[in-house]
Amino acid sequence: MQKLIQKAFRAFCVVLLAVCMSSYAYAQNLNVTGQVTGKDDGLTVPGVTVSVKGTTQGVITDANGKFSLSVTDGATLVFTAVGYDRLEAQATTSPMKIVLTSSNSNLTEVTVVGVTIKKRDLTGSVGSVSEKVIKERPTTNVNQAIQGRVSGVLVQNNDPRPGGASAIKIRGNNSIQFGANPIYVVDGLVIDGNFNTINPDDIASIDILKDASATALYGSRGANGVVLVTTKKARKGEGKIEYNAWAGVQSFTKNIPYLNAQQIVDLRLDAYANRYMDQNPGADRNTYIQSLLNPAGSAAFGADELRVYNAGESYNWLNEIRQKGVQQNHTVSFSKGSDDGSSVYVSFNYTDQKGLLKTSNYKRFGGQVNLDQKIKPWLKIGTNTNFTRTEERYIDGGVFNIAANANPLLPINNTDPYLSWKGITSTDLYNPLRSLSIDGQGNQNRLLTTNYIVATIIPGLNVRSGFSVEARNQNYYNYIPRDLGQSLRNSTEGSATHKKEDWLNWQWDNSISYEKTYGKHNISGLLSFGLTKNNYDYTQVDAQGFAIDDFSFRNLGAGYKKDRFNLASDFNTYTLTSYVARFNYNYDNKYFATLTSRYDGSSRFDTGQKWGIFPSLALAYNIAREDFMQGSMLSTLKLRAGYGIAGNQNIPNFGYASLTNAVYSSGSVYIVLADQMGNPNLRWEKQKQLNVGLDLGILQNKITLSADYFIIHNDDLLMPRSLASTTGFTTVIENVGSLLNKGVEVNINAQVISNKDLQWNVSANLSSYRNRITKLYGNTDAIYRYGGFTGVEIQREGNLFLGKSLNSIYTYKFEKIAQQSDMDRVSQIDYNGRTIRPGDIIPADINGDKKIDDADRIVVGNTDPKFYGGFASDLTYKGFGLNAVFNYNVGGKRINYLYEGLLGGTGEYAAHTDELNRWTPTNTNTNIPRAYQGAGRYGAGETDYAVQSAAYLRLSALTLSYNFTGDFMKKAKLSTLRVYLTGSNVFTSTPYKGYDPEGGDSYPTAKMFVAGVNVAF
């Protein structure tokens, strides 16, 4: 919304400033009055800015759309309002009847589930992103387009693969594990996930509903926020053809500085010698080192390694699997709207992205048809239908990690099935170059269609029925050739996998709504009823034994190891029912109230627990509309408050029952209890949300500010908790406790310069939240998460502690690197079998009991950012535009697993160049532990040594554009021609030592340089 205001005001201010610079010596001699109405509904439009062209003079229409002002004879009045086309009219002495046309009807209306409502009726906390903003960052992923543009919305691009999705969180974590993500509603259809099939070019606006009142219409599924996507509709008037295209080249944002072969040898020698000297004090270190370099038989090096070392070579395996990531995206659209409200919008899209690693790519093509038809004056029907096909080629999951951390002493080859260190082949390290021949492919067909019929029974009374379907099928195929390490290790002789998944989700929503104005009282009400059914099934086949690789995964029948074929399938269904009643009231557009109540039933709970009631109330006070505010500097002043309960049922199906699995073994089938214990007492998670907010505009809204404060008290938190094995199960889903989440969000926009040729806008947003677990089940003060190789180790992340953040990191505290002077103190502490010598990590004895044990393990921090957000600058000079979008994150921590591995200090694994500054008896002023081979000391991963700040400042998009105007456009019969160059992720500043504080370390994050064009005629 703010962007729209900004847009309107920018146009307005350009005019004002242009006039300021000329003379304004006019006499005022004409009193003008009039009333503004909207063309669509004939209702009066309050809040329209009426300004005198060429002056700074202006007023705003009152609650009845009326205005009056005094102007010079012959003056032109300019009418601007959010959501309406700008209109100019000659001032007249007779009362003026001004009829404003909606600039685009779907900018003022949104379709929520089963009902279309006016955006201004979305009381509560809503953040919006317009088409213009979405355009500013060329991307095929909607979440990326809104990253950093709305307060309270944390978008993390944590899957940097081509076509990878982004994670999105609204107001931090509210639920713990289930449904921590918002839902997406595309033209009224609720979809969970796979948001990246939506073409950003088709989107007219995105509204993000953040508090309980705003999300109330989604109740059961909107507890963690709602991302409302509205696709484009035609504007009234002449037909329009648009073409948008861009192409770009990607590269890694960052490379990890690895030790080269020579440095690895030095490190390993140091490590072995340190161990040797510890075990044989007084021995001759140099003699020992020389013995390790003896090619005839070294305990530290393979013969081939020494050959490479002596030849002065070093090998970078990662370079062998990289490629240039070329990407392109094209959208063409056709639209036309007619006066009766019928319209058509058709678009086609094609995207082709090559990944940064060989063999990976992503292609998507699809089309959108949006159609609205007035069949009778009282009956309208419409559809928004989208079809998308994606095709992907995967690089095998382990390739990047193995190649990045490969032994630089190992000559590059694609013949060995496995890589080695010290001449010892590891069957876990499949040769990444050979793994490139794994044929992994996937595709997906997805149909999203929402269809409605709405009848206007009497003016203001609408009956609407909508039926929406999401039909999706996804196929995954993989073939591992015969002679790869993967096949040798498991004696598969070639293995093929097919996995076919189907989703069929439908939603049927029916509503009756009524709206009426009595004098200054505006009321509207809504009753609705909806059914949702989600079906999922999959079939998987794994086949082994292929005589030849030629068929890849395509000929399962040609597999001969029939006794090792594996079949799997599943079918499940879940259903929801909901009733909603909603009532809106406003008086004179000054005082607003919205009362909503939902009654939801879900198949995910046991009989007796299925239903939940979720009420909410929102109030707003538009102080700027008060008489006493007229003529003040404040052009907008609105207070908002909302309280409501939102429900969450995003748990796996059948959490209420202890289920069993039927498993094949030795020629028969047996039944075992599943790991999850049934909990018949499971009930709806209830989030009690309070939101207060303020909207402020000063200097004719040249500066606008919107701020919100929220408190979310989440009771009956749904979470799986681990169980003692004596219960017979591993986990149970429970309403385990309560969580308190508080935060603030601020958005600011300012027009710094706005004159005819030069405009400069800046905007910034900041969000901050804190969460704290206030209660856990029973008398428990901690719930642990287990994992690791054996599945029984307490993990550093994912544990819950009373009074702490949900996202705590729990481990031993790194105290310091031991120096000789610490030895006396260290010798008095029981390290449970570990030894600490100078240069090693000392864990802190937190409770001072001279013993390092479980009691010394503490919450050392959390991954929550202290605050995060973005800021943008938008500079235009004549046709040129320079737009920069920044994202930032301050205060979040992240365990750098990669760095921990690279600081092992053994020289028997890849290492970070920080090792060059490692502790030695002559380099003691350092934080890098000494080299050491073998076990017995504390590793970096056992303490918070590598818990690093994940703070960052990123220039996520920098765009230089040129908009053609004037005669050229007329001659070419073009309405828009814009060309631009964009750099994405151009620059990132972070103390984090992995690949990316957001994208993580499992796949490199990309930067991209793009050239693009927008044409319309």
Of 916-945, which residues contact another protein (CB under 8 A)?
934-936
Taking the complex as a whole, the smallest distance from the CB of residue 560 to another protein amounts, in Å, to 13
Q: Could you say which of 55, 653, 795, 1002 contacts another protein (CB under 8 A)?
A: 653
Residue in 310, 630, 727, 989 binding another protein, rule: CB under 8 A: 727
Residue 476 corresponds to which amino acid? Y
Residues 6+ apart with CB under 8 A from 501: 473, 474, 475, 476, 536, 537, 538
In the set 328, 658, 755, 1002, which binds another protein (CB under 8 A)?
658
Binder of another protein out of 68, 510, 755, 926 (CB under 8 A): 510
Binding mask 875-914 for another protein (x = CB under 8 A): ----------------------------------------
Taking Cα atoms as reference points, which of 838, 844, 708 lies closest to residue 153? 708
Residue by residue, DSSP assigns 86-135 as -EEEE--SSPEEEEEPBS-HHHHEEEETTEEEEGGG--S-EEEEEHHHHH
Which tokens hold the place of 311?
């030849």
| 984: three-class secondary structure by DSSP | strand
Q: Say how far apart CA 992 and CA 670 lie, in whole Å.
A: 49
Q: Which is nearer to another protein, 687 or 722 (CB)?
A: 722
Stretch that binds another protein, among 309-317, 329-337, 389-397, 489-497 (CB under 8 A): 489-497
**Sole residue written with tokens 């999922």:** 536
3-state DSSP of 784-830: CCEECCCCCEECCECCEECCCCCCEEEEECEEEECCHHHHHHHHCCE
Closest approach of Cβ 659 to another protein, in Å?
5
| DSSP-assigned beta bridge partners for residue 859 | 810
Nearest approach in angstroms of CB 603 to another protein is: 4
Smallest distance from another protein to CB 914, Å: 23
Give the residue, chosen from 463, 623, 846, 1013, that forms a contact with another protein under the rule CB under 8 A: 463
Smallest gap, in angstroms, from Cβ of residue 573 to another protein?
5
Residue nearer to another protein on the CB measure, 24 or 670: 670
Closer residue to another protein, CB minimum distance, 320 or 502: 502
CB closer to another protein out of 311 and 659: 659
Does residue 659 interact with another protein by CB under 8 A?
A: yes
- 567 scored as a contact of another protein (CB under 8 A): no
Q: Which stretch binds another protein (CB under 8 A): 36-44, 319-327, 587-595, 792-800?
A: 792-800
**CB 743, CB 772: distance < 8 Å:** no
Contact call for residue 279 and another protein (CB under 8 A): no
Residues 189/471, Cβ–Cβ less than 8 Å: no
Say how many residues touch another protein, by CB under 8 A: 94
The one among 852, 860, 1008, 1010 contacting another protein by CB under 8 A: 852
- State which of residues 784, 962, 964, 1009 lies at the interface with another protein (CB under 8 A): 784
Among 164, 341, 398, 423, binds another protein (CB under 8 A): 423
Contact between 488 and another protein by CB under 8 A: the answer reads yes
Please say whether the beta carbons of 931 and 907 come within 8 A. yes
Task: Evaluate whether 893 touches 231 at the Cβ level (below 8 Å).
Answer: no
Residue 90 interacting with another protein (CB under 8 A): no
Nearer to another protein, 72 or 653 (CB): 653
- 912 contacts 903 by C-beta, under 8 angstroms: yes
| 547 touching another protein, by CB under 8 A | no
| CB of 668 or CB of 821, closer to another protein | 668
Q: Which is nearer to another protein, 504 or 694 (CB)?
A: 504
Should residue 25 be labelled a site residue for another protein when binding is judged by CB under 8 A? no
Residue corresponding to tokens 């609705």: 528
Among 38, 408, 655, 678, binds another protein (CB under 8 A): 678
Kindly give the residue spans of alpha helices, DSSP state H, lying in 429-473. 432-435
Measured from the CB atom, the residue of 500 and 834 that comes closer to another protein is: 834
CB of 793 to another protein, least distance (A): 5
243 binding another protein? (CB under 8 A): no
Q: How many CA atoms lie within 13 A of 144 on its CB side?
A: 31
3-class DSSP assignment, residue 690: strand
x/- track of binding to another protein for residues 165-204 (CB under 8 A) = ----------------------------------------
Question: Can residue 560 be called a binding residue for another protein (CB under 8 A)?
Answer: no
Report the first-to-last Cα separation within the chain, whole angstroms. 27
Give the integer Cα–Cα distance in Å for 82 and 102.
9
The answer to whether 559 and 595 have CB atoms below 8 angstroms apart is: no
Cα 285 from Cα 271, distance rounded (Å): 11
Q: Compute the distance between CA of residue 31 and CA of residue 28 in angstroms, rounded to an integer.
A: 9
Q: Which helix (H) or strand (E) holds 265?
A: helix 261-279
Amino acid at 347: S
Which has the closest alpha carbon to 576: 545, 599, 596? 599
Q: Is 93 in the site for another protein (CB under 8 A)?
A: no
- At 171, which amino acid appears? R
Q: Which of 340, 428, 830, 849 binds another protein (CB under 8 A)?
A: 830
422 binds another protein (CB under 8 A): yes
Whose Cβ is closer to another protein: residue 778's or residue 921's? 778
Which is nearer to another protein, 533 or 770 (by Cβ)?
533
Q: Are strands 952-963 and 976-989 parallel, antiparallel or unpaired?
A: antiparallel
In three-state secondary structure terms, 432 is helix
Distance CA(504)–CA(533), nearest Å, equals 8
Residue placing its CB nearer to another protein in the complex, 149 or 275: 275
Q: Does residue 514 interact with another protein by CB under 8 A?
A: no
Among 518, 631, 662, 922, binds another protein (CB under 8 A): 662
The one-letter amino acid code at 450 reads T
> Which candidate, 1014, 1003, 961, 925, places its Cα nearest to that of 245?
1014
Out of 90, 280, 413, 491, name the contact with another protein by CB under 8 A. 491
Q: Pick the stretch among 128-136, 740-748, 849-857, 956-964 that binds another protein (CB under 8 A).
A: 849-857
Residues of this chain, 297-336, that bind another protein according to CB under 8 A: 297-302
Q: Which residues 354-393 are close enough to bind another protein by CB under 8 A?
A: 378
**Hey, which residues does 511 pair with through a beta bridge?**
464, 528
Contact by Cβ (8 Å): 50, 78: yes
Q: Hey, which residues between 440 and 459 contact another protein (CB under 8 A)?
A: 455, 457-458
Ranges within 598-627 binding another protein (CB under 8 A): 601-603, 607, 610
d(C-alpha 558, C-alpha 794), whole Å: 45
Chosen residue from 76, 661, 913, 989 binding another protein by CB under 8 A = 661
CA 871 to each of CA 841, 875, 887: distance values in angstroms, whole numbers, following the listed order: 41, 13, 7
Q: What are the residues whose beta carbons fall under 8 Å from the beta carbon of 743, sequence distance 6 or more?
A: 152, 171, 172, 709, 710, 767, 768, 769, 770
Nearer to another protein, 256 or 718 (CB): 718
